[in-house]
Structure formats: structure tokens, C-alpha cells
Amino acid sequence: MEKQELIRLEKLTKHYKVGTEIVRALQSVSVSLYKNEYIALMGPSGSGKSTLMNILGCLDSPTSGSYYLNNNDVSKLVDNQLAEIRNKEIGFVFQTFNLLPRSTALDNVALPLIYSGVSKTERDKRALKVLDQVGLSDRVHHKPNELSGGQRQRVAVARALVNSPSIILADEPTGNLDSKTSIEIMGLFQEIHEAGNTIILVTHEEDIALHAHRVIKLWDGEIESDKINSTPKKVAVEMEASGE
């Protein structure tokens, strides 16, 4: 079956001016990413991986070159157009969860749908469905301070899924979790990928990257290597419904 291109980067560059110095964060990056891939973006601090993630997530624009998402050139869009693409096409999962502390799990997950103009009844219906998908149907009315770290990250994953985005973009999603909970969250990403979602995982941890099916390493703003991982790490444990 022919792979379907989701993202195409053509000679992408990003330069910043810091004082009198020009920082070349990305230098002529060209790569294609495909639907239903599970990709790890790796690299040390200063490699350009965070800059690339921000551009892929439509949080920033390149200095030059092109970024095609679903065959649309998003590299030339202005801020409000990028915001619309972000809300419709990209589900974000962050290291720090980024949940609203006074809102329930249900309301946190439903939040992106407010910006899409979805009715309250439909918002709650969709939010309940994805909370069930991540094993939190018994925690929908709990606030973040009533949940464990793993459960909070599951809420964040559910929020990323609620708009049925083209890409799940996860930035160091296990960075604030202990090793046992990290494995559970990687098991959750495994299930999401097997359900047909495209995942781009940004990490500096080799053992986390080994769960991905393709590993792209950056160094000094360039792609150092791009390899298929033919034996991705699998999480065999059955996910706890409530998470720990």
C-alpha cells in the first residue's frame, strides 16, 4: 500500500537574531513524513529539534523554505491562519500537561472544541469518548489536583485527540513522569498509533525514542540521520483504567 504524504519540508531554514549574532537554528531541512507514521525527533540541546517542533506545530514560521501540511503550504500563512490550522490539524501533548487547574478533566478536554464553535452537547459527547479511550471514564469530573501525574498526562492526550487532528505532536511527554508512569503513557501512544493516528514525538531520551517506528536525529540545525526502527519497543502491560 502506497504511503500517503502528510508533511513535506523543502529547504526549511530558521534564523534568529540574538544581539548582533545570527543563530542558524535550522539549515535547509528537507524531509517527508507520512500518514500513520510514529516518528521520534531527537537531538541534544541546540540541535534545532524544538525549533522544528514549533514550525511543525504552526507555532512559528520558517525564515525560508516551504512547509506543506496535507498539500497546503502553511509556511506563508499569517498568525490567525496558523492558529486555525493548529486547532484543526494538530493535537499537542506537553511535558507540563498545560491543564486548566480549576476545570474538570471533561472541560479541559472539551476546550479546543469551543474554538471550533462546537455546541456544548457535542463537545461533552466527544470529550467523554476520548476520555474513555485513554482509560479515564471514571475521572471525568476530577480537577487536575485530584489526579496523579499519569492521569493528568492522559487528560492532556485526550485533549490532543478530541479534534481528530492530522498529527499528535508530543513534546517530551514523559519528562515529568516516573519510569513506571512513563511506560504507561508510551503504551497509550502505542494504542493511539495502532488506531491510525500519526504521532511525532520530540524527546532527548533514547529509550523513549525506541518506541517510535522512525527516528530522525538533528544536529546543528540539520538532519544527521533518518532511520526506520524495524523493532520498536512494545509495551506489553495492560493499561490500568485509572492510571497511576
Distance CA 27, CA 192 (A): 32
Residue 232 lies in a domain: no
Take residue 176 and report the three cell numbers written for it.
515529568
**Residues in CB range of 153: below 8 A, 6 or more apart:** 93, 97, 173, 174, 177, 181, 185
Residue 27 lies in a domain: no
Cβ atoms 47, 65 nearer than 8 A: no
Secondary structure class of 212 (helix, strand, coil): coil
Q: Provide the β-strand partners of residue 92.
A: 169
Residue 54 lies in a domain: yes
Distance CA 130, CA 127 (A): 5
Cβ atoms 106, 126 nearer than 8 A: no
How many domains is the chain built from?
Answer: 1
Distance CA 37, CA 31 (A): 13
Residue 130 is part of which domain span? 36-63+78-217
Residue 227 lies in a domain: no
User: What's the confidence (pLDDT) of residue 238?
Assistant: 54
Take residue 99 and report the three cell numbers written for it.
491543564
User: Comparing 161-170, 177-186, 208-217, 231-240, which segment has the lowest mean pLDDT?
Assistant: 231-240
Residue 20: burial class (beta carbons within 10 Å; 0-12, 13-18, 19+): exposed
Domain harbouring 156, CATH code: 3.40.50.300
Cβ atoms 65, 28 nearer than 8 A: yes
Take residue 76 and report the three cell numbers written for it.
506563508
Residue 213 lies in a domain: yes
What's the mean pLDDT in 188-209? 94
Residue 169: pLDDT above 90?
A: yes
- pLDDT tens-digit series, residues 93-114: 998 889 999 999 999 999 999 9
pLDDT confidence tier of residue 115, bands split at 50, 70 and 90: confident
Residue 70 lies in a domain: no
Q: Tell me which residue has cell 516518528.
A: 39
Residue 168 lies in a domain: yes
DSSP H/E element including 157: helix 149-161
Residue 46 lies in a domain: yes
Between β-strands 64-69 and 72-73, what pairing exists: parallel, antiparallel or unpaired? Answer: antiparallel
Take residue 130 and report the three cell numbers written for it.
476520548
